[in-house]
């Protein structure tokens, strides 16, 4: 009889532990990972900036309150692009699906190593996607280079990009700096894009 009570006692304790663990996991799933944040957080970040959170994909960025932010998704729920606009200025981000649209090459890029790494898996891709830039503006880990009049591309050194700026012909350096700050605030899936 005593042995049976001890076994019953351990059984009840085991069931209680299982209930606690399952409850904790359910709480985490419900309140931490499956809650979808509103697209725009109502409280501004310091300096009058707002924080934009993806409605279906975990990403965020900050932007000035007088700019407009939006996002588009593919029918299967993948982020197609996001856009931040003000007047004739627009910053867009479109995550690469397979290969990046542009591979940036700067004056300090090891072109031979980059070509070799790309051509191993993607023959002739280097010649199709590489854009060479002799001048650029560096901010944080990013470099912004003008691709043509009214268009800029933002890259990390030796890496592909998905950030693009469309600007008016007589653009403001101050507004370009604001766009750089938006890019610098971008966070993807709990980490900064690398």
Over residues 18-31, the pLDDT tens digits come to 555 444 444 343 33
pTM summary value: 0.64
Q: Does the pLDDT value for residue 89 go beyond 70?
A: yes
Q: What is the pLDDT of residue 109?
A: 82
Neighbours of 82 (CB within 10 A): 22
In which band, very low, low, confident or very high, does the pLDDT at 179 lie, cut at 50, 70 and 90?
very high
Tell me the C-alpha to C-alpha distance, in Å, between residue 21 and each of 9, 25, 31, 34, 80: 18, 6, 15, 18, 38
In this prediction, residue 152 carries a pLDDT of: 87
Q: pLDDT tens-digit profile of 37-70?
A: 233 333 345 578 999 988 877 788 899 999 999 9
What pLDDT score was predicted for residue 55?
80
Q: Compute CA 157 distance to the chain's CA centroid, rounded to the nearest angstrom.
A: 17
Say how far apart CA 129 and CA 71 lie, in whole Å: 25
Confidence band, pLDDT 50/70/90 cuts, at residue 76: confident
Tell me the three-class secondary structure of 85-147, residue by residue.
EECCEEEEECCCCCCCCEEEEECCCCHHHHHHHHHHHCCCHHHHHEEEECCCEEECCEEEEEE
Q: What is the pLDDT at residue 98? A: 56
Higher pLDDT, 169 or 10: 169
pLDDT at 113: 83
Q: Is the pLDDT of residue 72 over 60?
A: yes
Residue 14 has phi, psi (to 5 degrees) of -65, -45
pLDDT tens for 110-138 read 888 878 877 777 777 777 777 788 888 88
pLDDT, tens digit, 9 for 90 and up, residues 94-115: 776 555 667 778 888 888 887 8
- 188 against 154, higher pLDDT: 154
């Amino acid at each position: 009889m005593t042995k049976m009570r001890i076994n019953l006692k351990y059984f009840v304790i085991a069931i209680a532990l299982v209930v606690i663990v399952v409850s904790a996991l359910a709480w985490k799933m419900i309140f931490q990972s499956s809650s979808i944040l509103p697209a725009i957080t109502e409280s501004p970040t310091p300096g009058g900036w707002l924080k934009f959170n993806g409605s279906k994909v975990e990403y965020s960025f900050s932007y000035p309150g007088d700019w407009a932010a939006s996002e588009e998704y593919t029918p299967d729920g993948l982020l197609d692009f996001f856009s931040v606009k003000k007047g004739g200025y627009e910053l867009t981000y479109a995550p690469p699906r397979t290969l990046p649209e542009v591979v940036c090459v700067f004056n300090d890029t090891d072109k031979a190593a980059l070509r070799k790494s790309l051509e191993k898996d993607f023959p002739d891709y280097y010649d199709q996607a590489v854009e060479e830039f002799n001048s650029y503006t560096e901010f944080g880990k990013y470099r912004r280079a003008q691709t043509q009049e009214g268009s800029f591309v933002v890259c990390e050194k030796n890496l592909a990009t998905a950030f693009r700026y469309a600007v008016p012909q007589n653009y403001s350096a101050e507004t370009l700096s604001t766009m750089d700050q938006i890019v610098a605030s971008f966070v993807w899936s709990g980490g900064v894009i690398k």
